[in-house]
Amino acid sequence: MADSSGDTVLTTPLNALHRELGGRMVPFAGYDMPVQFPAGIMAEHNHTRTAAGLFDVSHMGQVRITGPDPVAAIERLVPGDIAALQPGRMRYTMFTDDRGGILDDLMVTRRENDLFVVVNAACKAHDIAHLRAGLSDHTVEELADRALLALQGPAAAAVMARLAPEAVKLGFMSGAEVTVAGHACFVTRSGYTGEDGFEISVPDTAAEALARLLLAEAEVKPIGLGARDSLRLEAGLCLYGHDIDTTTSPIEAALAWTISKRRREQGGFPGAVVIQDQLARGTARKRVGIQPEGRAPAREGTPILDPAGNRIGTVTSGGFGPTVNAPVAMGYVATGHHAAGTPVALEVRGKMLPAKVAAMPFAPHRYAK
């Protein structure tokens, strides 16, 4: 199919199912994706927080890296400590450039004989090219014949216990080959909502059958991109291209926790000198949470001012948080204004709305222990 610009829009293996379920489809990262289902974004958000939501994230890139010591190889491209992972464990990290900017964020799972990597849909082609250029002595295989489903929420484990009991044994940020209702899958206990949950890599030919089995469980409902965004915002999780990009470093983005002592000291990744200097000297700005007063949300691009009216930053993500029943946002502010509780103002349609810097996450994380 093509969008209004004439560009081809790709579909996931669940496209027909989304339409059957009444999904309102929109172009997203080059794919035809459901932004919401008939229940609506608010209901979908709340259902994920109280039961279990099923998300189609098949537009994400799934990659397998093989060759001599793939762990050491990928550490040439990322600041994450992949060597410290035991087989079956996974880590959140990012590709950095020579200036310390973030090319993309990604998940890396160390397996016995390879690495399983998940990258963002919008950056997929660039990321795979970047991996192949940087790991020319390795095989970088895009797993284009696999779909990716995310089951998220406090009831996710109970649902998986019925369909794949072995999956429930996984700890947070770990993965394994698991048979789910007869389908050979690679399952990780992870997600993008702040809730307990699982991401299920399944052959694309089995994706719709597995999705229907999951949706047949009483606790599970389909969830679209709208609720995915409000859930991750409440959880204080970055969205690439909005909260992080090549103009932001991991240190400015409050992601220093992703870089271990060994990687900080040894470097060996793009932009290491810049990042090491920022760790030692600090940065001019910081990513923070913002809690507006009242009910009006502050959207991306909203100027952040100090009480005297001086501009000190910009909102990078914002909207209404159904769980906290209030608007929430995140953005960058000048260092010195980043402490939780610092009063600020938001310039919305020419009006100065009071707000304060807030600790994140806005809704507590409830990951599996």
Q: State the Cα–Cα distance between residues 169 and 125, nearest whole angstrom.
A: 34
**Which tens digits make up the pLDDT trace of 118-155?**
999 999 999 999 999 999 999 999 999 999 999 999 99
pLDDT at 236: 98
77: pLDDT strictly greater than 50: yes
**Which tens digits make up the pLDDT trace of 187-244?**
999 999 999 999 999 999 999 999 999 999 999 999 999 999 999 999 999 999 999 9
Average pLDDT over residues 5-30: 93
Residues of the chain with pLDDT > 90: what percent?
96
Q: Which of 142, 79, 135, 89 is nearest to 111 (CA)?
A: 89
2: pLDDT strictly greater than 60: no
- At how many degrees (to 10) do helices 204-215 and 156-163 cross? 120
**Which tens digits make up the pLDDT trace of 49-68?**
999 999 999 999 999 999 99
4 pLDDT band, cuts 50/70/90, is very low
pLDDT at 8: 87
Average pLDDT over residues 86-92: 98
Q: Which residues contact 165 (CB under 8 A, 6 or more apart)?
A: none
pLDDT at 3: 54
Domains and CATH numbers, the chain: 284-369 (2.40.30.110)
pLDDT at 6: 53
Beta bridge partners of 357: 290
Q: Model-level pTM? A: 0.96
CB 357 within 8 A of CB 340: yes
User: Residues in the chain, how many?
Assistant: 369
Q: Which residues contact 94 (CB under 8 A, 6 or more apart)?
A: 78, 79, 80, 102, 103, 104, 105, 106, 244, 250, 255, 258
